[in-house]
Amino acid sequence: VQAYIEAMRHKIRSGDVVADIGSGTGILACLAARAGARRVYAIEKSDWIEIAREVVKRNGLEDRVECIQGDAATLRLPEKVDVMLGDVIGVFGLEGDVLRIYPAFRANNLAPGGRVIPERLELFFAPWEAAGEHAEVGFWRRDWYGLDLSAVARVQANLPLSRVLEPAGALAREASAWSGGLVEPHPGYVEAGARFEIARAGTMHGIAGWFETTLASGLRIHTGPDRPTTVWRQGWLPIDHPIEVLPRDLLETTVVFSPEEGGPCMGWRGRLRREGRDVAGFSQHEFLGRLVPDRPPK
């Protein structure tokens, strides 16, 4: 929030009209009003809009902050805004649907020359050793009462999670796998590929993911494991079966964000090469973890 306050100081001018996209508690909308906005539209698709309304009222800002329930990607405001801001970046960066919401909102509602918070996003990934994070998957692979419960392990292994990861778990230097502006039109499908040279012997239990977002020039939020922990923590993509790795092994990974009706869905795959030969691989998808029905419910 402090970083957003700094960015608002840079970008909101007295008398501006501002939109807070995905307003949640309404906190950023209230702070935008405090930063000098003449009018703030707090836009939230969920019922949290009622909480935002109450927060706005309790802080005496209802004459300047208007709470609107709706999808920011399709909503048309009664006037153009000078500044659009929001916090819809997910733990892995893109799963919060920012590449759909931001360009569409900008096209429909931002005045020419308007300002945007945040402006850019960069995604990082690295192979990680984290036996504790993998325990949930391993648990369901054990022999319990003579039953094969691996179907449950499959669900656990295909769920992207948010975790605080120990920096010591890194098996290779992180790679920047995708970066881009947030308001340019985007097809929505992102394939973030990366290559790693394994730095030490160990067991790979998954892929760690994090991001850096530029709120304003020189003002960034970085959610890496070697930085103070933020509300996002780090992203964690478990792999089905842990892989033993050796120094100088080469790992190629691809993390995919594909646009689906309920928001982007993540897939992650990779292969490990040793002395020119494939020695291990994985291919996983959130579809296998979310238990999404594949036919309409009766």
Ligand X SMILES: C[S@@+](CC[C@H](N)C(=O)[O-])C[C@H]1O[C@@H](n2cnc3c(N)ncnc32)[C@H](O)[C@@H]1O
Q: Which stretch binds ligand X (CB under 6 A): 68-76, 204-212, 253-261, 281-289?
A: 68-76
Q: Which of these, 21, 31, 23, lies nearest to 1 by C-alpha position?
A: 31
65 makes contact with ligand X (CB under 6 A): no
The CB-of-160 to ligand X minimum distance in angstroms stands at 16
Q: CA 118, 89, 18, 12 torsion: positive or negative?
A: negative
Considering only residues 19, 33, 44, 177, which one is a binding residue for ligand X as defined by CB under 6 A?
Answer: 44
| Residues in CB range of 272: below 8 A, 6 or more apart | 204, 243, 245, 249, 250, 251, 278, 279, 280, 281
Sheet of strand 265-274: strand arrangement: 190-197, 250-258, 265-274, 277-285
Q: Which of these, 265, 249, 53, 67, lies nearest to 159 by C-alpha position?
A: 265
53 makes contact with ligand X (CB under 6 A): no
| DSSP structural state of residue 45 | S
Considering only residues 16, 66, 82, 87, which one is a binding residue for ligand X as defined by CB under 6 A?
Answer: 87
The CB-of-31 to ligand X minimum distance in angstroms stands at 9
Closer of 24 and 160 to ligand X (Cβ): 24
- Taking the CB of residue 145, how many other CB atoms lie within 10 A of it? 5
Count of residues of this chain found to bind ligand X when the rule CB under 6 A is applied: 18
Closer of 68 and 149 to ligand X (Cβ): 68
Considering only residues 3, 10, 25, 233, which one is a binding residue for ligand X as defined by CB under 6 A?
Answer: 25
Closer of 96 and 238 to ligand X (Cβ): 96
Residue 245 structure tokens: 């790795």
72 makes contact with ligand X (CB under 6 A): yes
66 makes contact with ligand X (CB under 6 A): no
240 makes contact with ligand X (CB under 6 A): no
Distance of alpha carbon 7 from alpha carbon 9, whole angstroms = 5
95 makes contact with ligand X (CB under 6 A): no
The CB-of-242 to ligand X minimum distance in angstroms stands at 32
265 residue type, one letter = C
Q: Which residues bind ligand X (CB under 6 A)?
A: 22-25, 27-28, 43-46, 48, 71-73, 87-88, 97, 101
